[in-house]
Amino acid sequence: MQEGSAEAAAEALKNMLSSDAVILRDGKDIKVPADQIVPGDVIRLSLGDRVPADLRMIEVGNLAAQEAALTGESVPIDKTVEEIIVDGDPNQQ
């Protein structure tokens, strides 16, 4: 049962990811396959885009994301650039 749920969640993530992303590299916007995004890339999102990777927002203007496939939320979730506070060392398991 749990394995089935995990597979369904992984499939939902796969379906949410875009096959292409517009990123800023060397001062230019270029379109690359999402699997070629690397840490440090700046991703540019436009209206209707799927989020191609796990990312940290550095500039946002009235952004909300539909996360129903992951969280079950029925309404889009507003996104901000506010710092996320984590108790303790997030690198320790």
Cα separation, 71 vs 69, whole angstroms: 6
| Confidence at residue 18, expressed as pLDDT on a 0 to 100 scale | 55
Asked if residues 65 and 76 have their Cβ atoms less than 8 Å apart, the reply is yes
Cα separation, 16 vs 50, whole angstroms: 6
pLDDT in tens, the chain (93 residues): 667 778 888 777 776 665 789 999 889 999 999 889 999 899 999 888 888 888 888 888 888 888 887 788 889 888 888 887 778 776 765
| Confidence at residue 17, expressed as pLDDT on a 0 to 100 scale | 61
| Confidence at residue 90, expressed as pLDDT on a 0 to 100 scale | 67
